[in-house]
Structure formats: C-alpha cells, structure tokens
Structure 1
C-alpha cells in the first residue's frame, strides 16, 4: 500500500468514531465498477480526501449495480466504464460525464505466439466465426473466449458496441467471471485464453500479453491521437438534479481540475477528457466508421438477444497432466438465473 492510500485509510479511521462518523459531515456514498476503480477511482478518492477533506465511502459493484445505486438514491455518485444504456429507463434519468478515455485491450497468456489481430478477427472471435488459434496464425488449439458475466458490464459493453453496434449483443464466450480482475487472473493461467480488459488495468502486468489491433499497440499516446481503434470513455454518474454544491459535483470539478489532470497525464494510465482533443467530439462518428470497416455481416452463432445475467463464480481450475492447469468450461448464465 503506498503512502497516499495509507493516508486515505488513516484519515478515514481518524474521522470515524466508535459510534460512526464523529464529525458533522458523513462520508459521501459512492459506487464504482472494477475497471473505473482501478483506472482512476482509488487514486482520485485518496487525493480528493487529502485536498478537499471529503471522504468517499466507496464500494465496488458491477457496472449496472453501481449505476442503479445512484438512480435509487443509495449513492451520490458512481464511477463506471460505460454510458447510459438507452433501453434502461433508470439510467436515462442520470447525468453521465466523461472523465477520461481508456483503451480496450485484448489480452492473452504471455506464452501465446499471436501478437496482433485485425479488428475483423476480433469481431469474428466474439461472433463465434473464429474459434481456433490457427485461424489467426497461432497454435492448433481452441480459443478459450472469456467474458464478464454481469449484465451490461462496462468494458464488454464498449467492445460489443464497437464491434456489433449494440452493447448488449450476445457473444460466443464459454467462460464467465465476476469482474475484470478475476477474468485477468483466469487468462494468466490459460495459454489458450482470450479476453478484454483496459490498458489502465493491465499496464505493467508481465503475466498478461496485450495484442496490438491492426498493428497498433495500445498506449495513452495512441488513444489521444486516435490511432488505437478500441477505446472506452470512463464516466462519473450522478443525479441530474444534484445541486452545484453537492458532493458529486464537487468531485466532478476536482476530477476536471488542471491539478488532477496533470497528475493523470503523469500516471499515463488513462487520457483525461481535457487532453483527448477530437476524440471527445467525434466518438459517435468514430463508432460508425468502425462498423463500416466491419461491413461484412457477422451472424452470431448464438441467441439474438443477451439475457440479463447474474454474476456467477469464477470457473474452477482443474489440474491436468503433469502440473498443467486448464480452466473448466462454464456455460453462460441464462435468463432463468437473472437477478
């Protein structure tokens, strides 16, 4: 734990008495999905406490649960990795402000010889049209496609929207995980696994290999320049009727400040919105251009609609052969298992 997070923990302990919050101000309830929390949420929360003397009582949830907590009045704000889903009436009542941009990265085991995929190849893997590594220049092995099981997960939503035009479209994944952190852990031990995470979440992780897309490696510089094709905005979500003096808007102004922007730039994990240039204004057009690149229809080999899926446990690991480990296949949740 670095000094900044120790400061956060010590400050919270000092402010909390035996019977709870000992001062006049209570911690501000917030929620976050795993991607946003690791991308900037943990760091920003600690710095906000240090600078503004305001504590966030943050809890990690699935993307949709974090958003619903704000809509239901259980939290003042949420940090999430996707925008409002048009078919969700609750979400359409909230404000979604872009804080930063992150790269969606395809991850595999370091021993995998494949280093690059085209956008079409990624699309066809998720559509179920490519199911073996030799089809993309790899070994003669099956591709183990992994995904997050939660409904409308942020990064999965962004990827599917980019590849298929709709964030809730089903994909041909055979293994499902609670969140991106557990999904990454699964890829670390599976030489034939493939999944997506974000640059901010896997940068510097030697146990994962990031594939380039169309020959371009994901970096914050490539994201800002618009050269890397798969990107996702990271949002602060709050109620539209929140007062200008509310904790949510204070946190928003803090995240948009020049001081915090300079910190985010120096960390080189995400691209702050103020540094994203044309990407901010042209993202919708960019999405249409990506779909145009993939104009050849990719009929999915599974159901036409994505059921609302409950979060399921991580797939168990079985030992096979001499010390080798292979994740068990886990069927995708169905509507019958919905929350």
Structure 2
C-alpha cells in the first residue's frame, strides 16, 4: 500500500513540476510571440482567377491590411504553384493570414460551393449554372454579391518581329481553331502559326472562348499549347517568332499587342481609354463574388477597400484599368455623326460608359456604382449645372427612328438617376446604332447599348 502511495505522490509531484515549468516558459517568452502563435487565424480565403490572384489580389489584400492597421505584412509562396499566403501582425501582436489560390475563375465558384473559399475571384461573369449551384448562398448576380473591381483588356500578342498589326475577331477565331494555319494567309511572312492559350480553368480562356471562338462558331484547336499562368504564356510567345496567344493586359510584357476589330468597329489597340470605357472589343471586367446571405466583416472590408480611391489606385499600379473617372479629349473623325463631331470638338468624354443588365432597361451592377463615381467627378470639377451631355447608343433596328428613340431612352435612364442628385444637364441625345464598338450578336448588343458622358 505504501508503495502505491509513493508512486501516486511521485506522479503528482511530476505533474506539479511540469505545470510550474510551463508557467515559467510562458512568462519568459515575449507575450507577443506567444499570443501570435495562439491566435493565428485565416481572415480570408480567396480562390479563383490567376489574372487577379497573381498580383492584383495580393496587392489589394496588403493595402486593406495596412488600412486596418496591420504591419509586418509579407507574401509567402504556398506549397502549390499559383498559391500564396499573406501574413500580417496586428497592433496587439496577433498574427493573421489570408490564403489566396489562383487556379482559374471556375475554381473560385467551386470553393464558394464547398465552403473552402470566402471570396471567388473571377475574370469573367458568373455563369447561369454556377448561379444555380450557389443558390443557397443568395442571388449571386445581385449588387451585394457581384463586385467589379477593375477593367482588363484581353490582349492578343505576337512576337515583336511579326509585321501584322491588326486582326478582326472572326480572323482570330479562324486562327485559333486551326482553319488559318500559316502567317502568309494573314499577309505575314510564310510560316506555321503556333498557338498558345490559357487552360480550361482560366477566366481568361472563358472570355476568349466566348468573345472570339464561340461567337464565331469555332473551337480551340487541339494543337494549342495550354498554360495556367498569363506571364508564362506571354514569355513563351515573345520568344517564338511564329507564336500567337492571348493574355491579360498586365501580362503583355515583352510581346507585341495587336489592334482588334469586331463587326463594324474600327481596329482598336488595348489602350487605357478604350478599355476603361469597355469599347475595346476584348475588354472585360474583373470580379469578386461573395455570398450576399453571409455577411463576413473581412469580406466586406476587402470589397469596400477595392472600390475605394486607394484600392483603385492599387488596381492601376498593377497594370489594370481603374474605375476612377477622368476626362479624355477625343479627336473628331469623318465617320462621326455631326452632333458627335461637335461634342468631340467642344467637350471631353468621361472614361466611363453606363451599360445595362442583359435583357433589361435597368443599369447593371457596375453602372450603379459608376453613378457615384461620376457624381464625385462632377462635384469636384464644378460640372453640375449645364455642363453635362449624355449620349445614348444602341443596336440596329428595322426602323432607324426606333433605334434612335431607344438610345435616347437609355440616356434618359441615366439622366433620371443623376438628376436625383442635383445634376442639371446641357443636353440629352440619342444616336441610334452609329459608332458600334462590337458586332451585333447577343454579347455585342449589350456592349453597343451604352450611354456616354461628355462634359464642357
């Protein structure tokens, strides 16, 4: 019996010593280190587009954390290619992380569905099938769920030595489907065309497929070499004199960008103004999507920061086109209607177009936010009274007078919203189907139905 007691006493004494030692260690360690180890947590999990996730996403997260008072912010590579971890420390010594995986837009929506992501980054709008699969999270096409954070141009790139300077979207479709396989067929030097494309998970590929291939009834040739990364694709094209590829605007790098025409539009280079107004045929929006039914403070913090002037400055710093409104001088040309030539001569165009939800007379989610951006510009630059002209455009109708009327009604819809905030207009005009920026197919009609803002 005495031995049993002795053993129990020994165990008790050992446990007591262990607790004392642990307490000494905890006291001796710097409290900030101990707290950081115990409170490290993932604030946000972002999955999706490589176009966003490679540089822009981490930069926006870093800016948001700085704005929230975090310090010692660092980017660390993940264990898998195209994954990153943003690590920061609060003023109380708490370590936090944001996990970012950039394997393509479709993977972001999968992450929302299976609960492994808080935000889906996408370089294309959400598809109807994805909306249906995420119905339990709320209306994923609503303003609370869909956030346009930047505008990008899908650049068609060649080797710098290639003499071809412009192509139509139907020619691009023939090239990437393999129907045109030699540069000589396009007026270039003889030689086989080498195709480079993003992979199937990529929103960049989805955009190219929708705007170029599917719009012309084509499919990507099996011979195309596929890439998960924009930058790697661009670097490969710029080292191949017979190569052609497509990539996001910040990834043009050393390659040569082509001017692109769609339908009756004039060939346009992916310039900042043409992309900001979304007139460039291969312009596209970059999105963040989140559940409107699940309000998470850090999700809201990132969304609000991305929309803020500081967030949009980061967008521009990373090579994308911000949504900050500016005035641009447009040179008049002979193909412009008289009223539009007069505007070009006497006024400046704002770097934003108002567009409408598909099949609707309502402004789309981007336009609803652009109302505030335009109001801020007009207020700061003293343009609220008799200094604004709205010009509406549309798609062709069997009766030109009807096309003109509908285009003016679109301008009146924007007028109604801005007038509520005190804008008194100089004029409202409808120009019908002139000056198209896209072919008048299903997607092109949406782009052609637009309202421009001009200021004196």
Q: Distance in 2 between matches of 1:107 and 1:138?
A: 15
Corresponding residue number in structure 2 for 1:251: 302
Give 1:24 deviation, angstroms: 6.8
1:172 equivalenced with 2:221 (yes/no): yes
Corresponding residue number in structure 2 for 1:13: none
Corresponding residue number in structure 1 for 2:329: none
Q: Distance in 2 between matches of 1:148 and 1:21?
A: 40
Corresponding residue number in structure 1 for 2:147: 97
Corresponding residue number in structure 2 for 1:23: 39
Point out where structure 1 has 5 or more consecutive residues left out of the alignment: 1-15, 296-339
Give 1:141 deviation, angstroms: 0.9
Corresponding residue number in structure 1 for 2:210: 161
TM-score computed with the length of structure 2 as normaliser: 0.53
Q: Distance in 1 between matches of 2:440 and 2:302?
A: 38
Corresponding residue number in structure 2 for 1:49: 65
RMSD: 3.3
1:185 equivalenced with 2:260 (yes/no): no
Equivalent residues in 2 for 1:213-228 (5 A)? Answer: 213-214=260-261, 215-228=267-280
Give 1:23 deviation, angstroms: 3.1
What SS is found at the alignment partner of 1:191?
A: coil
Higher relative contact order (CA 8 A, sep 6+): 1
Q: Distance in 2 between matches of 1:247 and 1:31?
A: 15
Structure with bigger gyration radius: 2
TM-score computed with the length of structure 1 as normaliser: 0.69
Corresponding residue number in structure 2 for 1:329: none
Equivalent residues in 2 for 1:270-309 (5 A)? Answer: 270-273=320-323, 275=325, 277-278=352-353, 280-281=355-356, 290-292=438-440
Give 1:124 deviation, angstroms: 2.1
1:140 equivalenced with 2:190 (yes/no): yes
What SS is found at the alignment partner of 1:78?
A: strand
Give 1:157 deviation, angstroms: 0.9
1:130 equivalenced with 2:180 (yes/no): yes
What SS is found at the alignment partner of 2:290?
A: strand
Q: Distance in 2 between matches of 1:42 and 1:76?
A: 15
Point out where structure 2 has 5 or more consecutive residues left out of the alignment: 1-31, 71-95, 262-266, 326-350, 360-393, 396-435, 444-456
Corresponding residue pairs, total: 273
Corresponding residue number in structure 2 for 1:81: 123
Corresponding residue number in structure 1 for 2:431: none
Judged with a 3 Å threshold, the aligned counterparts in structure 2 of structure 1 residues 283 and 137 are, in CA distance, closer, same or farther, namely: farther
Judged with a 3 Å threshold, the aligned counterparts in structure 2 of structure 1 residues 20 and 134 are, in CA distance, closer, same or farther, namely: farther
What SS is found at the alignment partner of 1:41?
A: helix
